[in-house]
A and B are shown apart, each in its own frame.
Chain A
Amino acid sequence: MKNLKNYILSAAVLVAFMSCSSDDDNPVANNVTLEFNNTFGATPIVLGDATSASATVNTSDEGQTHHFEEVKYVISNIRLIKADGTEIPYNVNDLDNGATVINHALPETLNYVMSDIPVGDYSEIRFGLGVKSELNTLDEASFPNFYASAGENDTEMHWEWGTGYRFTKIEGFYGSNNDVLSIHSGSTVEGEEGSYTQGVDAYRDITLTLPTNATVGNSAPTIVINADFDYLLSGQSHTITLGESNATPSIHTAVEMTKFVENIGGNGTTDTTGMFSIQSVEN
């Protein structure tokens, strides 16, 4: 008896579906790829160890040379904005399907493919550098895939004591003696958004206007995003000289951390681009 009911039910639902889709006009959805270029100015970053001859060496506004051995950051909360202002959020509450760790050492992480983006002309993109507070709880049960990929031994984007994610992890060397720099960011806030009871919010919302519309329809556009790590020490908010007090994770005093966060992620008010810019849109 129950089986029979299920048959009738399936048939009914199927009919309903068919009649609906035949009414809609051409609901084409397609992929949008975000391609991340990590650079110092116009020069692509090449990673290297302390004495590497091939690593890209940058010089800060304060004249301090530095190069990186590791560059990682979390992108989440991605929203595409149509020319008419409509905002299309992309799995913004689902870290498994809407967040990624960009790891400069792994080329496959530099292209983030978003699927089933509704047809339309998009003129703006917003995304988070880091993870917004309500999702930043290392909730392995809800988002096992993101949790696992962020926590892998070669990724190390769990911020254990804060039970959140590392938003950025930059390891490298600075100055003529190649002293170690180790710059991590992450949030330490407690309480509800808007009324935090303590801590520092290292999440930054980035807004970038596209130079030409990304047209989703029969084509699957690629948005090329430049992340210029020259901003780390020479940003819009702060000009930073590295030294004993701020180059290693004692930056977790979060005072120093905040300066790095503002330089690469913006100050959240007048600067909502930080180190990011759109290099091109390929339709």
Chain B
Amino acid sequence: MALFLIFLNLTHFKMKNIALLSVVMVLFMSCNKDDNYESIPYNNPELELSIPEDFPLLNNAFYSNTPTTFGVELGEKLFSEKRFSANNTISCATCHIQINAFADSNAQAIGIDGRIGLRNTPPIQNLAFMNFYNWDGSKLQLENQPLVPIITHEEMDSSILEVISKIEIDPEYQALFEKAFGDDNMIPERIYKSIAQYEYTLISANSKYDRVKQNEATYTISEAEGALTFEQKCSSCHSTELFTDQSFRSIGFPINPNTDEAGRARVTGNLDDYMSFRVPSLRNIEHTAPYGSFGQFTTLRDVLDYFDNGVLDVDNLDPILKDNNNRIPLSEEEKTNLIAFMKTLSDEEFLGF
């Protein structure tokens, strides 16, 4: 084929060679006929995802990578694949553990050889409805994310070709790639896409909160009181059915001493974003301790106490806190009730209990 292209280029300038070109074309076409194989048709139906009522719109990237039966199966297998790491010890699922809403219980992520990462592992839930990924929103679509942990020194410390070289000889993967994509060609994009497809299916919307909304359950008195306080003092940031408005805010939490940390400003180059982080979703929050961008707080009570006592008086403190003397005043009873309410956001089915 390469010869043919060169030839075509030359004849472009040499009209006299057109006759010759036709001869070669005929030869090529007849050659092709001999070698032609019909690609084997494959059946990989799209998954029917049930989209919870009142959830935000899907991320646009979802529509160019809609989950399929075998794409998701492959993605789930890759998610638990320890050969993603240089020494075959760390998979995505090492830090993203189902019973923790696909986060873990470490303050900061722990990767290969016990190396400590910069930040707290984010939960993986309802990502199909998010427009920003990571605490600083560095990625806007899920397909662009899997490469980051693969190459990061403190996470898997490998490379995508190294990963492929390890798994491409595995018959199980060969079969799954074939089912998902029609052949077993393991190109990086297919790995990224199938992992994203799997993550798109991780939807948590079956908590007590959801059932109360659907009149299938009722709050205890404490939960109901907590819901009221939440409405008054928390919901301007923890809004929507995801319990985050997906904005980036500087809320005066204790600052990560690592000099690599600048929060959202690391991405945007805007000083107003210094040490701002994406408002976390509160779904399954009971199971994602510790809290804060680098796990500064051990318990939900610690977080509420901190807000009550007053946050750091930083230059770019969020106006809502600034207007309230840098704090969210809460009585002890309010804290207890808020925690009771937040626990109604736990989705046991999602957590695999």
Contacts and interface: CB of A to CB of B under 8 A. Distances in A.
Whether chains A and B associate is yes
Interface of A: 2, 5-6, 8-9, 12-13, 15-17, 19-20, 23, 138-141, 144, 147, 151, 158, 160-163, 188, 190-191, 197-200, 248-250, 252-255, 257-258
A258 to B, nearest CB: 6
B31 A13 contact: no
Nearest to B23: A12
Contacts of B140: 190-191, 197-198
A183 to B, nearest CB: 12
B93 interface: no
B271 A8 contact: no
B262 interface: yes
Given A12-B24, A161-B148, A255 B267 contact: no
Contacts of A191: 140
A161 B6 CA distance: 41
Contact of B10 (A8, A20, A139): A20
B17 interface: yes
Given A5-B27, A188-B269, 18 more contacts: A2-B31, A9-B28, A16-B10, A16-B14, A20-B14, A140-B160, A163-B151, A190-B140, A198-B140, A198-B268, A200-B269, A249-B260, A250-B261, A253-B266, A253-B269, A254-B267, A254-B268, A255-B270
Contact of B7 (A16, A161, A190, A252): A16
A254 B7 contact: no
Nearest to B266: A252
A160 B28 contact: no
Contacts, number: 114
B161 interface: yes
B294 interface: no
Interface in B124-152: 134, 137-140, 144, 147-148, 151-152
Nearest to A9: B27
A12 B270 CA distance: 62
6 contacts: A12-B20, A17-B6, A23-B14, A141-B187, A160-B148, A161-B134
A13 B7 contact: yes
Main secondary structure of the interface of A (DSSP, over half): helix
A19 B261 CA distance: 64
B26 to A, nearest CB: 10
A158 B151 contact: yes
B84 interface: no
A114 B188 CA distance: 30
A143 to B, nearest CB: 11
B261 A138 contact: no
B269 A16 contact: no
A197 B270 CA distance: 14
Given A9-B27, A15-B20, A199 B267 contact: yes
B265 interface: yes
Given A13-B3, A253-B266, A254-B268, A198 B188 contact: no
Contacts of A8: 27
Contacts of A5: 27, 30-31
B353 to A, nearest CB: 33
B138 A188 contact: yes
